Every structure is written in structure tokens, then in C-alpha cells.
Amino acid sequence: LSLLKVRDVARRFSSGTLALQGVDLAVERGEFLSLLGPSGCGKSTLLRLIMGLEAPDAGAVEWGRLRPRIGVVFQEPTLMPWASVLDNVALPLRLQGQGRDERQRAARAAIDLVGLGGFERAVPRELSGGMRMRVSIARAFAGKPELLLMDEPFAALDEITRLRLDDELQALARDQGLTVLFVTHSVFESVYLSTRIAVMSPRPGRITASLPIERTATGA
């Protein structure tokens, strides 16, 4: 049973733009799936439908058993600039109604996972772009997601930081048995990171290919 199935989905904006049509996509548990396509092909729109922020005009987004816990990471980290790293990471847990001790423990664990142990009291303004992105990933991880949705998360970072985060994310996803749907317009990044690439084409947006990538023990 797939974790997620997008079935024959269409989305037309009130402006008249047909952003998606006939989109079919199954996401399997444990895979690292890149959604690859040029700007404007409908990747973000598809992600918003999966997040439930918008409804499709036709077709359906279906969940395997239960709807999994979802973590989301965007290109803009949207952190509270003057709140500590710890408070930023713990905020969603607070909104979920978790108690103080419980959410601090989960937040600290997530901060350690992304290599920011020791920076709990720092505020985002003091951190580099790469570190702020790690805070944003920690915030998503603190909620113990089963499915991580990432919309061009590293696009604004310099190439070296981006490569480093690609490596860290890949190891994290593998170690935590996470399912990842990673939106990118970088062929390089999709090949480097994923276990499968779903290629999207524009006007209207649709999935035109599904390419499994075999990973060897010596390769990434």
C-alpha cells in the first residue's frame, strides 16, 4: 500500500491558468522521491495539494492507511528572528499542545540531529544561511514526521553549503526511515539525492517520467 497516491489531479486557478492536469503519482514508504521540473511546471501547486492547503479541481489525494504526520520545509526558513533556536524548533510542538518538558526534549533531540547542538540559545539573526536552514529542518523533524515535504529547500544557499546539507539530509532520511518528497529544479540535486525522480513537464503540469535510481554501497 502506497503512503500517498495522487490520482488524476487537475488544478485550475481563478486566473484561468491550468497548473496541473492528469497528475498521477504514488509515493512509497521509505523512498526519497525528487519532483523535478522547470520553474512554473506546477511543483509547488502539487505540494500544496498534498499538504491540504488547497483542494484539487479534479482527481484526489489519497493516503494509504492513516494520513501520516507531515513535516514541511520551504526555501525561506520562516523562523522567528528574535526567538531562540530552541523556541523556534519547539513552537509547532507547543501548538500541538505538548507539555514544556516533552517539547524541549524533542526540540533538543532534533537540534542535535541537524548538528546544531550548542546553538539552542542562539537567535536566527546570529546564524549563517546554512545554519538557519538546519534550524528549519530541525523544526520539521521535532514533530517526528513520517513524510517530509521539501520545496526547493536549499535553492538559496551557496553550492558548498547546499552539498553539505544534501549529504546530511540523505543520511538523516535513511537513518530515520523517513519518506521524503523533495521538490527541485536541479537535475544534479535530484540525481544526487533521491531513490527515484518524478519528472514534471509544464503547461499543464503533469508527471512525464518516473526514474528509479539505484544506490550502491560505495556510491552516495
State the residues that interact with ligand ADP by CB under 6 A: 13, 15, 17, 19, 37, 39-45, 126-131, 161, 164, 205
Residue placing its CB nearer to ligand ADP in the complex, 39 or 218: 39
Q: How far is CA 9 from the centre of its chain?
A: 20
Residue placing its CB nearer to ligand ADP in the complex, 102 or 167: 167
The number of C-alpha atoms within 13 Å of 214 and in the hemisphere containing its C-beta is 2
Cβ distance 202 to 38 under 8 Å?
yes
- Give the Cβ contact number of residue 116 at 10 Å: 22
Residue with cell 492547503: 53
Euclidean distance between CA atoms 150 and 137, whole angstroms: 9
Q: Is 24 helix (H, G, I), strand (E, B) or coil?
A: strand
Lookup: cell for 19: 497548473
Minimum Å distance from CB 215 to ligand ADP?
24
Minimum Å distance from CB 29 to ligand ADP?
25
Minimum Å distance from CB 68 to ligand ADP?
22
Question: Cα–Cα distances in Å, from 193 out to 164, 179, 181?
Answer: 11, 13, 11
Which strand (E) or helix (H) includes residue 149?
strand 147-151
Residue placing its CB nearer to ligand ADP in the complex, 82 or 216: 82
Residue placing its CB nearer to ligand ADP in the complex, 145 or 205: 205
Minimum Å distance from CB 161 to ligand ADP?
4
Minimum Å distance from CB 203 to ligand ADP?
8
Residue with cell 550502491: 216
Residue placing its CB nearer to ligand ADP in the complex, 39 or 216: 39
Closest-CB residue for ligand ADP?
130
Euclidean distance between CA atoms 210 and 135, whole angstroms: 31
Residue placing its CB nearer to ligand ADP in the complex, 80 or 95: 80
Minimum Å distance from CB 134 to ligand ADP?
7
